[in-house]
Amino acid sequence: MKVYPFKIPKPNNNALIYQEDIEIVFYDKLHQHDEIQISYIEKGNGTLLVGNSFTNYYTGNVFVIGSNVPHAFKSDTSKNETSKMLTLFFTKESFGTSFFKLEEFEEIESFFVNSLHGFQVTSQLTEIKEIFNKLKKATKLERFIILIALLKLLSDSDINLLSNYTYAKKLSDSEGKRMRKVFDYTLKNANQKISLDEIASVANMTKNAFCKFFKKRTNKTYINYLTELRIENACKILKSNKDMAIVDVAFKAGFYNISNFNRRFKELKKMTPLIFRNL
């Protein structure tokens, strides 16, 4: 199987696919697929990369990832517990090229627009959970009816966009493999010092060529990308280690200057680490 792009199996040419992932780790290779993905995290936590941005995920979260948006779920394996994710896959053309262009669907158009960035749902989560619990035993027709109701609910929900960059085309297989190497290395070594020369070597490129390659495909510099991942890791540490000193949190997340940590944390989270912990 090619790492990039990833193909969603379609049993019996189903237009709408329901999938349950029950694993210690989810499929954590950076990938993209034609289908829009609506996922409910029934159990588990870890780090999610969508497009050019990282976010932490926890039990009860709901995410929407648009067509051909690169993404990967990196499960937290420290507790060696099983994770479970329920997902619907479909394309905007699954039910005919003009189906979602009908006037009756105008009020859910925001769903498709926002999916291009990927988004996390932050309201009506109880209702969404109930919908996903109905899917397992539902017939194909019932799943289709549930999907329409779910799209209306998601269109009316509060959301946080995950990526500030949209992807107009698929990356080539070679580009995808290179980005996957960068992504995997960065996740594994985020708490260590990573120089541009070092990460360029991982991508088998010169430093200048890598910087141009990465910026073109993510719309941000590698240093900003790495910083955002470290801040997300710091948030996870702040939530799980209530008594750890802020300076130790910074060091554990990969920051070796407490002033820089506090400044970047406030830039990205709009609050100080201490306020974040108290909240």
Q: For the segment 39-52, what is each residue's pLDDT rounded down to a tens digit?
A: 999 999 999 999 88
Query: In CATH, what class is 11-161?
Result: mainly beta
pLDDT of residue 164: 79
Question: What global pTM score does this model have?
Answer: 0.83
pLDDT of residue 163: 87
Q: Does the structure show a pLDDT above 90 at 275?
A: yes
Q: Mean pLDDT check: name the lowest of 120-129, 171-180, 231-240.
A: 171-180
CA distance 4 to 181: 12
Q: At 248, list the tokens.
A: 């130790």
Q: Does the structure show a pLDDT above 90 at 244?
A: yes
CATH 1.10.10.60 residue ranges in the chain? 173-278
Long-range CB pairs of 272-275 (<8 Å, 24+ gap) are 273/234, 273/238, 273/246, 273/249, 274/246
Q: At 66, list the tokens.
A: 């648009």
Q: Mean pLDDT check: name the lowest of 4-13, 110-119, 196-205.
A: 4-13
pLDDT of residue 78: 78
Q: Mean pLDDT check: name the lowest of 14-18, 75-79, 232-236.
A: 75-79
The mean pLDDT of the chain is 90
Indicate if the alpha-carbon torsion angle 223, 224, 225, 227 is positive or negative: positive
Of residues 164 and 261, the one with the higher pLDDT is: 261
Confidence band of 170 (pLDDT split at 50, 70, 90): low
Q: Does the structure show a pLDDT above 90 at 147?
A: yes
pLDDT of residue 13: 66
Average pLDDT, integer, range 172-192: 88
CA distance 145 to 162: 27
Q: Does the structure show a pLDDT above 60 at 7?
A: no
pLDDT of residue 51: 87
Please name which of 179, 8, 204 lies closest in space to residue 87, comparing C-alpha atoms.
Answer: 8
**Residue 248 contacts by C-beta under 8 Å, 6 or more apart in sequence?**
none
Q: Based on the number of CB atoms within 10 Å of its own CB, is 126 exposed (0-12), middle (13-18) or buried (19 or more)?
A: exposed
Q: Does the structure show a pLDDT above 80 at 9?
A: no
Q: At 153, list the tokens.
A: 């609910």
CA distance 199 to 235: 24
Confidence band of 218 (pLDDT split at 50, 70, 90): confident
CATH 2.60.120.280 residue ranges in the chain? 11-161
pLDDT of residue 240: 87
Of residues 147 and 165, the one with the higher pLDDT is: 147
CATH 1.10.10.60 fits 173-278, yes or no: yes
Confidence band of 1 (pLDDT split at 50, 70, 90): very low
Confidence band of 167 (pLDDT split at 50, 70, 90): low
Average pLDDT, integer, range 192-196: 95
pLDDT of residue 10: 52
